[in-house]
A and B are shown apart, each in its own frame.
Chain A
């Protein structure tokens, strides 16, 4: 840095930060928590849709909804969770969504004139 140039981190009340998030750094965590909650709501919707024709499968999926909602809380936890804890929780979501897809595929194949018939 050339001499005489002001310090990069000197307070400058008039300048806006480069990233709007710097004004309120908490918004990133808040947006992520909202994204988790939207995901939980989507699970609930899928569960309700399945409930119509496959009550057992629908109830299983509905039971996952509060779990995903609970995971939303860890985003703003203090202290923030470590890298491994974060990876485990996201893996849980991926496993849950894959499980819902498997349940839906079984329901589609077995019910409603599907190609697979139980003996």
Chain B
């Protein structure tokens, strides 16, 4: 099929096939697509990139540099959740094999939670602890505090229990404080009205449609 611009004010004798129109269109797209350049002040010579190029670069980076939590060094991190809960995550590093569930020589992987009243932080003999046996392959755990106590510092160690109440720690955590368990917490929040509660029309949920 040949198309002619019969009503064009330009040279009406030019006729183009469908493939020619397509080719011209593609060439214009290639060369004249609106391009972005960096707005960063340090940039002296501007590189211009089309949306397609931006997308390709973004996708390639996402594919090749996907985040991974694993470190080579063992570590455990403790986070505060609420007056009754802490949250721990860990990496075992090269101790992974020692902590493998099928290692019969050693006890199970254990998360040890230490608690110490704030006023007594220098008196190490007052440190109390409790153990949580980790039987899941997941390297994270929400810790329920058996008796939440205010003004108490918490820390954790990840390791394995061994004979005669021994404990081999692979890593020790940061020190944190659980949120203060005040009257509000003790009342169990039955009358609480937080911003995330929907009202009858659904308001109160944000940022999404």
> Bound pair: A and B?
no
A: residues with CB less than 8 A from B are none
**Residues on B close to A: CB < 8 A?**
none
